[in-house]
Amino acid sequence: MMSSIKNTGLDKHYFNSYPYWNRLLVDDLLDVSRVTRGLVTLEKTKLDAKRIFPDAVEQVRPLIEARRHRLIVHTPPDSAFVLGDIKRLVQVVTNLLTNAAKFTPEGGEIVLSMEVDRGHIRIAVSDNGVGMTPEFQARAFELFAQAARTSDRSQGGLGIGLALVKSLMELHGGGVTVHSDGVGKGCQFVVCLPHIAEKEFSANHELEARNPAHPSKALRVMVVDDNVDAAKMLALLIEALGHQVVVEHHALRALERVAIETPDVFLLDIGLPDIDGNELSRRLRMHPEAMKAILIAVTGYGHESDRERSLTAGFDHHLVKPIDLTTLSSILSKISQL
């Protein structure tokens, strides 16, 4: 796991260091102050709430990896439209994920899910962490309440993040609740937003600017990377974008699985242990089930010569680690329109 942490340029010392968490606390405290004084104006747009997950997961990914948690993401198959400020909604989910990661012992499980229910979008963050007493649940969203939640000061957290979540959800016309069966039994936080039916979108909205003859679809994506942790996290991000993902850690196994899965898109690590990504790309281009698929190279090398080798090997795109999520999302979105 330490190797995956180093890939992010961060390590456990960094995450436990005072300056890093102090900066986050100051940022959240300033935001709470602005909200309570009426100085925050939401930049609301009509958006698919599923757009929130990839950015939030990406922001919390280093902390989740550092604490060796398992993150599971569930998104609804259909669009989930809301009227909201995407930046602030990402901040809400990021704070809830961060809270779960900090108050769950190392190697725990965190579930991020979304559902559309009776005119509302419900986003839930569940964990199997330290839990809460009924008394604490009643004041969990009070400023600084979190300080008394655990005697382990290394967990950090003063409750500023949860207070900010409550304030931002109220600005959105929604709310947030918490439930725990008790100490040591984990927690579930649920935020609720008004759901907007797709037909309510104006003719000028960005979603309706898409070509109606080519609606987006969920893609079948195969990730091939021998770094197990990196592959899992990349798969989570792609699933959060609404696509189906399978993961393989060996090139030869990926070739065997192609006939079964028939992916639309492959993301191939170049430095694979058995045969490298360039050779795997060449073989896929000759495979009857994969020759028309979109191949994306994922590598730590971004020189022009590296890109030329990728194109010569049959790749359609060349992404340099760490992958820029916006770029990947744009590529997959364009493919799904075809």
Separation CA 78–CA 47 (nearest Å): 13
User: Strand, helix or coil at 262?
Assistant: coil
Q: Which of 205, 227, 243 is the last residue of a domain?
A: 205
Tell me, yes or no, whether 196 and 55 share the same domain: yes
User: How many structural domains is the chain composed of?
Assistant: 2
Tell me, yes or no, whether 166 and 34 share the same domain: yes
Q: The domain that contains 321 carries what CATH number?
A: 3.40.50.2300
Tell me, yes or no, whether 64 and 153 share the same domain: yes
Q: The domain that contains 139 carries what CATH number?
A: 3.30.565.10
Q: Which of 182, 205, 228 is the last residue of a domain?
A: 205
Res. 207: pLDDT tops 70? no
Tell me, yes or no, whether 171 and 107 share the same domain: yes
Does 242 or 307 have the greater pLDDT score? Answer: 307
Residue 269 near residue 226, CB atoms below 8 Å: yes
pLDDT at position 278: 97
The whole-model pTM stands at 0.61
Tell me, yes or no, whether 312 and 229 share the same domain: yes
Question: Could you count the other beta carbons within 10 Å of the beta carbon of residue 279?
Answer: 14
Closest CA to 89 of 5, 173, 6: 173
* Model pLDDT for residues 219-255, shown as the tens digit of each residue: 999 999 999 888 888 888 888 777 899 999 999 999 9
pLDDT at position 237: 80
User: Which range is most confident: 2-16, 69-83, 135-149?
Assistant: 69-83
Q: Which of 205, 225, 247 is the last residue of a domain?
A: 205
Tell me, yes or no, whether 167 and 228 share the same domain: no
Tell me, yes or no, whether 223 and 110 share the same domain: no
pLDDT at position 150: 52
Identify each DSSP E strand in 118-256 by its residue range. 120-127, 175-179, 187-194, 220-224, 244-248
Tell me, yes or no, whether 25 and 144 share the same domain: yes
Residue 303 near residue 279, CB atoms below 8 Å: no
Long-range contacts made by residues 250-259, C-beta under 8 angstroms, separation at least 24?
250/224, 250/226, 250/274, 251/224, 251/275, 251/276, 251/277, 251/279, 251/280, 254/222, 254/224, 254/280, 255/280, 255/283, 255/284, 255/287, 257/222, 258/222, 258/284, 258/287, 258/289, 258/290, 259/289
Tokens of 293: 């698929």
* Model pLDDT for residues 276-294, shown as the tens digit of each residue: 999 999 999 999 999 999 9
pLDDT at position 146: 58
Provide the domain limits for residue 118: 2-205
Tell me, yes or no, whether 154 and 230 share the same domain: no
In the block, tokens 């499980």 appear at 109
pLDDT at position 204: 40
pLDDT at position 164: 87
Tell me, yes or no, whether 146 and 294 share the same domain: no
Tell me, yes or no, whether 303 and 190 share the same domain: no
Separation CA 103–CA 39 (nearest Å): 31
Across 50-71, average pLDDT: 94
Separation CA 336–CA 331 (nearest Å): 9
Tell me, yes or no, whether 225 and 97 share the same domain: no
Percent of the chain with pLDDT over 70: 78
